[in-house]
Amino acid sequence: MNSHHDNIRAVAWRDARLYLLDQRLLPHRQEFLAFETAAAVADAIRDMVVRGAPAIGVTAAYGVVLAARAAFASASSDWRRVIEKDLALLAAARPTAVNLCWALERMQGAMKDVPGDPESALLHEAVRIHEEDIRANRRMGELGAALIEQPCAVLTHCNTGSLATGGYGTALGVIRSGFASGRITGVFADETRPWLQGARLTAWELVQDYIPVTLLADGAAAWLMSQGKVDWVIVGADRIAANGDAANKIGTYSAAVSARHHGVKFMVVAPTSTIDLSTPEGKAIPIEQRPESEVLSLADQPIAAEGAAAWNPSFDVTPAGLIDAIVTEKGVVLKPDTARVAALFDAG
- Rounded distance between C-alpha atoms, residue 73 and residue 29, angstroms: 36
Whole-number Å distance between alpha carbons of 210 and 208: 6
22 is catalytic: no
Exactly one of 209, 231, 238, 245 is catalytic; name it. Answer: 238
334-340 long-range contacts, CB within 8 A, separation 24+? 336/243, 336/244, 337/243, 337/244, 338/242, 338/243, 338/244, 338/280, 340/244
Q: Are 23 and 50 in contact (CB under 8 A)?
A: yes
Beta 301-302 vs 315-318: how paired, if at all? unpaired
Q: In what order do the strands lie in the sheet with 184-190?
A: 213-216, 184-190, 152-156, 232-235, 265-269, 325-328, 331-334
3-state secondary structure of 109: helix
Residue pair 288/95 in contact (Cβ under 8 Å)? The answer is yes
Lateral strand order in the sheet of 315-318:
275-276, 239-241, 246-249, 315-318
Do 334 and 340 form a contact (C-beta atoms < 8 A)?
yes
State how far the Cα of 340 lies from the Cα of 334, in Å rounded to an integer: 8
* Cα gap 57→102, rounded to integer Å: 7
Evaluate whether 41 touches 86 at the Cβ level (below 8 Å): no
- Residue positions annotated with a catalytic role: 238
